[in-house]
């Protein structure tokens, strides 16, 4: 079907491959390449549609957002346009993160503004809860371990999302990872002082965000980074209770949400959520890193993946009984984040046996740390890494559609020239791995170890290397344009002839690596560091 996006068209549905709308005569092909299939939704400032790109091979799907303000007042139209342009600029800047939709196009046609972005296939958290029921405490912690590092990244780019809620968080079908969508309400800086009336724009006349999820200071038009922490806390309450903010009571004196009596969770998690939901900004967590530290969990811990949502009553009882046996075997282990990781790994291994054959990383259940143990770090790290895959097993899994190889031992593999774009290698071991000439576009290497890896002439455009270890890696001639290399260890890495155009990297990092006159710096110019 071809869908007409003329806002005034009374009958927008048309037969497939039509060139013009049968009802209003509008062109159905945008920018001579995008054909709209169906509407996805509409908000206060724009309508979104599912489309496909007829120019690219395979006609891949994409999302088109059309500026379509619900109000007609001049100042409202101005605000809508400001927000629309801001969303495009923000996605263009931060869309290299694997958990943010990529900006594909932005244009004006027949006095209409359009934004084209990557289509994320999957279910929103709101849909998951409605279909499967509320999350367990472990499920909420798993969710936070995935979304908090993303929130930290967004805030490091000086962006406040301002509309975090279950409907804007999608679990991607491809790899089951959380993706944050709808950057239409973003704010690109935090005002440290009140601006005078002359410095205001149309945006300052309205509070942006979703009532109930938006913090008090955000509704008062003074959002800060901690405002996103508040919205994330409300989202967690929804995941645990299934109740939206309008279904919850509020303390009329303090303005605090009354939710604790509805939640069945540990005192520790409740205390963390309580601080995330503090009405006073100064008493709230100030950063995503602070929340992660308080939770004592490691980001991207690949645990409890099979049991995030509440299943049938019979299955819940069975799982809780068997999981309790694992927990009770060493209650002291749950007192620390490391202990919690080991417990989660043991539960994961047990569940993997039940769902035999559904995952490749099923291995022996790692031993729980003894309560009297000194906590040997190498043993702990080894237990966090999934079983080792050889080259043949890895490539076979990839060809079958698998894209998530987080926490795997992939040392010494020969993957030369392989097409491995959009793959998740988060926290994996890739030491001395041969990836020469491979296509690793938009892949996630966050916290991965790539020491002495062969990445010569590799396509690493928009790859994510936050906290990755690239010491001694061979990156000669590699394309690292728009890659995210913040906090990556580049000591001794060979970047001679590498393309770093638009990459997120500091001069201090580059000073530790080997470069030459052929190295393209982030500003697009060739040459050595001055």
User: What totals of helices (H) and strands (E) does the chain contain, helices first?
Assistant: 12, 13
- The domain total for the chain is 4
pLDDT in tens, 329-338: 443 333 333 4
* Residue 27 in this model has a pLDDT that exceeds 50: yes
What is the model's pLDDT at position 45? 64
Query: Taking residues 65-73, what's their average pLDDT?
Result: 70
What is the model's pLDDT at position 22? 92
Judged on CB neighbours under 10 Å (0-12, 13-18, 19+), 285 is buried
Rounded to whole angstroms, how far apart are CA atoms 109 and 385? 50
DSSP 297: -
Three-state DSSP state, 447: coil
In a domain, 303, yes or no: no
In a domain, 202, yes or no: no
- Write the CATH number for 132: 1.10.510.10
Are the CB atoms for 444 and 423 separated by under 8 Å?
yes
Three-state DSSP state, 308: coil
For residues 35 and 65, membership in a common domain is answered with yes
Enter the pTM of the model: 0.57
In a domain, 196, yes or no: no
* Residue 235 in this model has a pLDDT that exceeds 50: yes
* Residue 383 in this model has a pLDDT that exceeds 60: no
* Residue 402 in this model has a pLDDT that exceeds 90: no
Query: Which of 213-222, 310-319, 406-415 is predicted least confidently?
Result: 310-319
Query: Taking residues 442-456, what's their average pLDDT?
Result: 93
Nearest by Cα to 236 from 201, 272, 206:
272
What is the model's pLDDT at position 288? 95
Are the CB atoms for 406 and 98 separated by under 8 Å?
no
Q: Single out the residue in 118, 151, 174 at which a domain terminates.
A: 118
For residues 423 and 317, membership in a common domain is answered with no
Partnered with residue 121 across adjacent β-strands are: none
Query: Taking residues 49-73, what's their average pLDDT?
Result: 84
For residues 362 and 390, membership in a common domain is answered with no
For residues 331 and 415, membership in a common domain is answered with no
In a domain, 15, yes or no: yes
For residues 258 and 340, membership in a common domain is answered with no
pLDDT in tens, 77-110: 677 677 778 778 888 878 778 899 888 888 888 7
Nearest by Cα to 82 from 229, 200, 196:
200
Mean of all residue pLDDT scores within the chain: 79
For residues 167 and 229, membership in a common domain is answered with yes
For residue 131, what are the domain limits? 123-190+207-295
**38 vs 12, 42, 507, CA distance in Å?**
9, 12, 47
Are the CB atoms for 269 and 141 separated by under 8 Å?
yes
- Write the CATH number for 493: 2.160.20.80
pLDDT in tens, 167-199: 999 999 888 889 998 876 655 554 433 333 333
Q: Are strands 61-67 and 103-109 parallel, antiparallel or unpaired?
A: unpaired
In a domain, 403, yes or no: yes
Partnered with residue 454 across adjacent β-strands are: 434, 474
Are the CB atoms for 47 and 66 separated by under 8 Å?
yes
More confident residue, 194 or 271: 271
In a domain, 353, yes or no: yes
Q: Single out the residue in 295, 328, 360 at which a domain terminates.
A: 295
For residues 432 and 283, membership in a common domain is answered with no
* Residue 299 in this model has a pLDDT that exceeds 70: no
Tokens linked to 52? 């496909």
Rounded to whole angstroms, how far apart are CA atoms 484 and 430? 18
Give the distance from CA 278 to its chain's centroid.
25
Nearest by Cα to 23 from 8, 42, 41, 39:
8
In a domain, 306, yes or no: no
Tokens linked to 98? 């694997």
For residues 143 and 276, membership in a common domain is answered with yes
Are the CB atoms for 234 and 213 separated by under 8 Å?
yes
For residues 369 and 396, membership in a common domain is answered with no
Total length of the chain: 530
Start-end of H helices in 281-414: 288-295, 313-328, 337-354, 377-384, 391-399
* Residue 458 in this model has a pLDDT that exceeds 60: yes
Tokens linked to 521? 């710096």
Nearest by Cα to 394 from 428, 346, 427:
428
Phi, psi of 64 (to 5 degrees): -115, 125
- Write the CATH number for 17: 3.30.200.20
**84 vs 12, 39, 78, 113, 225, CA distance in Å?**
24, 18, 10, 8, 21
**125 vs 40, 134, 140, 510, CA distance in Å?**
16, 10, 11, 40
Rounded to whole angstroms, how far apart are CA atoms 200 and 191? 12
For residues 103 and 130, membership in a common domain is answered with no
What is the model's pLDDT at position 302? 40
For residues 162 and 291, membership in a common domain is answered with yes
What is the model's pLDDT at position 400? 82
Sign of CA dihedral 423, 137, 386, 336: positive
Are the CB atoms for 243 and 262 separated by under 8 Å?
yes
Q: Single out the residue in 94, 118, 142 at which a domain terminates.
A: 118
Rounded to whole angstroms, how far apart are CA atoms 523 and 521? 5
What is the model's pLDDT at position 252? 87
Q: What percent of the chain has pLDDT over 70?
A: 75
* Residue 161 in this model has a pLDDT that exceeds 70: yes
Three-state DSSP state, 404: strand
Question: Residue 396: pLDDT band by 50, 70, 90 thresholds?
Answer: confident
Catalytic residue positions, numbered: 163
* Residue 436 in this model has a pLDDT that exceeds 60: yes
Are the CB atoms for 211 and 219 separated by under 8 Å?
yes
In a domain, 360, yes or no: yes
| Contacts for 90-96: CB closer than 8 Å, 24+ residues apart | 90/159, 90/183, 90/186, 90/188, 91/115, 91/117, 91/183, 93/157, 93/159, 94/153, 94/154, 94/157, 94/159, 95/462, 96/442, 96/462, 96/464, 96/482, 96/483, 96/484, 96/504
């Amino acid at each position: 079907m071809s869908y007409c996006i003329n806002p005034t068209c009374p009958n927008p549905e048309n037969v497939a491959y039509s060139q013009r709308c049968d009802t209003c005569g509008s062109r159905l092909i945008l920018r001579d390449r995008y054909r709209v299939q169906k509407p996805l939704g509409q908000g206060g400032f724009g309508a979104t549609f599912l489309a496909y790109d007829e120019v690219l091979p395979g006609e891949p799907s994409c999302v088109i957002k059309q500026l379509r303000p619900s109000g007609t007042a001049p100042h409202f139209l101005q605000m809508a346009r400001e927000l629309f342009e801001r969303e495009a600029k923000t996605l263009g800047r931060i869309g290299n993160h694997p958990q943010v939709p990529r900006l594909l196009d932005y244009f004006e046609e027949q006095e209409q503004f359009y934004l084209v972005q990557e289509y994320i296939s999957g279910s929103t958290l709101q849909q998951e809860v409605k279909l499967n029921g509320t999350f367990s405490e472990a499920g909420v912690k798993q969710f936070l371990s995935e979304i908090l590092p993303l929130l930290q990244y967004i805030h490091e780019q000086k962006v406040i999302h301002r509309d975090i809620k279950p409907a804007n968080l999608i679990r991607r079908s491809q790899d089951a990872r959380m993706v944050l969508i709808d950057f239409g309400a973003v704010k690109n800086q935090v005002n440290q002082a009140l601006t005078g009336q002359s410095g205001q724009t149309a945006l300052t006349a309205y509070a942006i965000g979703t009532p109930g999820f938006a913090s008090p200071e955000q509704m008062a038009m003074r959002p800060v980074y901690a405002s996103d922490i508040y919205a994330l806390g409300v989202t967690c309450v929804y995941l645990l209770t299934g109740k939206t903010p309008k279904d919850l009571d509020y303390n009329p004196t303090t303005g605090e949400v009354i939710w604790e009596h509805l939640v069945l969770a540990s005192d520790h998690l409740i205390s963390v959520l309580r601080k995330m939901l503090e009405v006073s900004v100064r008493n709230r967590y100030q950063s995503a890193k602070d929340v992660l530290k308080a939770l004592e969990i490691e980001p991207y811990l690949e645990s409890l993946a099979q049991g995030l949502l509440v299943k049938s009553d019979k299955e819940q009882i069975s799982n809780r009984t068997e999981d309790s046996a694992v927990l009770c075997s060493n209650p002291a282990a749950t007192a620390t984040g490391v202990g919690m990781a080991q417990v989660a790994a043991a539960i994961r291994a047990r569940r993997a046996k039940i769902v035999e054959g559904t995952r490749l990383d099923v291995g022996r259940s790692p031993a729980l740390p003894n309560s009297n143990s000194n906590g040997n770090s190498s043993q702990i790290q080894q237990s966090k890494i999934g079983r080792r895959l050889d080259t043949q097993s890895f490539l076979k899994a990839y060809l079958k559609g698998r894209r998530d190889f987080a926490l795997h031992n992939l040392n010494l593999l020969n993957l030369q020239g392989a097409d491995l774009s959009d793959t998740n290698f988060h926290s994996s071991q890739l030491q001395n791995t041969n990836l020469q000439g491979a296509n690793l576009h938009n892949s996630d290497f966050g916290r991965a170890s790539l020491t002495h890896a062969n990445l010569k002439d590799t396509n690493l455009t928009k790859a994510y290397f936050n906290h990755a270890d690239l010491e001694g890696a061979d990156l000669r001639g590699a394309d690292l344009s728009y890659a995210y290399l913040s906090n990556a260890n580049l000591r001794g890495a060979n970047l001679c002839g590498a393309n770093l155009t638009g990459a997120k990297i500091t001069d201090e990092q580059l000073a530790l690596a080997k470069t030459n006159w052929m190295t393209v710096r982030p500003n697009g110019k060739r040459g050595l560091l001055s």
